Amino acid sequence: MRVTPISQERLVELLAGRIDGLAGDDRRLRVAVDGAAAARPELLADALVEPLRLLGRPVQRVSAGGFLRPASIRFEYGKQDPDAFHDLWLDQGALLREVLDPLEPGADGRLLPSYWDPVTDRSARAGYVELPPRGVLLLDGSFLLGRWLPLELTVHLAQSPAALARRTPAAERWTLPAYERYREETDPVSLADLTVRVEDPRHPALVERP
């Protein structure tokens, strides 16, 4: 496995070109940027929006954080249970139903950008939006791989346990066993189409498998 340093600008350019090259027809594309909160997957997803639009690709941003289950389910075993965080927090059914399935070939492209507000613990009350043909969904979040989600491209932001612990705020360190379990059980590096090592998010490096 070879790790090659790359600038943030070049990484975004490379990813945008790879996404644009996935399909030459009117097919909608579903792209996930997966990583721990400390890896800031939302920043990379956000950075891809404008380059893709310049390539003639309409873009819709969605965060998995808008598709969490109600607090009664998330906190059934306490507010700091790593296994519940790993297994129960994401409402995978809602994400499939409201975002990913409507982008299947032949579907209407109408998706819900946010489903549940974890702050108010109520429906996000977002309106449906339509992603036009040739559009790209950019989804960010944690624990997205190994769930059999229908995605055309997956990017995993990898961190060593030491870097993850160093960059995770003290109040969130209870989540570290969940990320370690994900690393060991799911092995996202082997599942992702592209892995980027972000020991320091300012200095990414491409991980190339043999």
Q: Which CATH number does the domain housing residue 45 bear?
A: 3.40.50.300
3-state DSSP call for residue 202?
coil
Task: Compute mean pLDDT per 10 residues along the chain, 210 residues long, and list them.
Answer: 92 96 87 97 98 96 98 96 98 98 96 95 94 97 97 97 96 98 97 95 86
CB atoms within 10 A of CB 41: 27
- What CA–CA distance (Å, rounded) separates 25 from 13? 21
Residue 102: DSSP 8-state: G
User: What is the pLDDT, as a whole number, of residue 9?
Assistant: 96
Looking at residue 140, what is its pLDDT? 98
Specify the pLDDT at position 128: 97
Q: Which two tokens stand for residue 79?
A: 């507010």
Q: Residue 209's pLDDT is what? A: 75
Any residues with CB less than 8 A from the CB of 91 and at least 6 apart, and which? 67, 68, 69, 115, 116
Please give the radius of gyration of the chain, using alpha carbons only, rounded to the nearest integer.
17
Contacts of residue 138, defined as CB under 8 A and 6 or more positions apart, other chains included, come to: 31, 33, 45, 48, 49, 52, 59, 60, 61, 62
Residue type, 199: E
Please report the pLDDT score of residue 145 as a whole number.
98
* Nearest in space to 157 (alpha carbons), one of 83, 78, 47: 47
**Which pLDDT score is estimated for 2?**
87
Q: What is the DSSP letter of 1?
A: -
**Enclosing domain of residue 100:** 2-208
Number of structural domains found in the chain = 1
pLDDT at 87: 97
d(C-alpha 36, C-alpha 142), whole Å: 5
User: What order do you get walking across the sheet with 29-35 strand by strand?
Assistant: 2-5, 205-208, 194-197, 153-158, 29-35, 136-141, 59-63
